[in-house]
Copies of this chain bind each other. A is one copy, B any other.
Amino acid sequence: MTNEEENLFQENIRAVQDTMYVIGGKWKLPIILSIYKGNKRFNDIANSIPKITNRVLSKELKHLEDNFLIKRTLVNEYPVKIEYSVVDYTFSLHDIIRPMEVWGKKHKEKIRKEL
């Protein structure tokens, strides 16, 4: 490998690690998908995702908001409500999620055959 190839290689690894940081882990994509499905309120999101704790959900919502993947809105009623929604940018994840769905299903099949 030339130095240039090596640099590009390292840059690509970092880009993959960045993506993993933003959407990786067990909960972030299920949370996004729950909001996409129409759950707007904290409790509704929490109830739609088996086994998630309030503390973790709270942390993950903040992380997703910081990364512009969901929007948090204060609804000016009495009492004030907080609502979460997906945004245009959320849909950029489709290009990543779809291949992961496909690979995940094929992998399950492979594991089943090999064991």
Contact = CB atoms under 8 A, between A and B. Distances in A.
A79 interface: no
B1 A13 contact: no
Interface string A90-115: 00110111011111111110110010
Q: In the assembly, how many copies of this chain are there? A: 2
Nearest to A24: B24
- Majority secondary structure, A binding face: helix
B29 A104 contact: no
A47 to B, nearest CB: 14
Interface of A: 1, 9, 12-22, 24-26, 29-30, 33, 37, 67-68, 89, 92-93, 95-97, 99-108, 110-111, 114
25 contacts: A1-B37, A13-B33, A14-B104, A15-B101, A15-B102, A15-B104, A15-B108, A16-B29, A16-B97, A16-B104, A17-B29, A18-B104, A18-B107, A18-B108, A19-B104, A20-B24, A20-B26, A22-B104, A24-B25, A68-B110, A89-B110, A92-B103, A93-B103, A95-B99, A96-B99
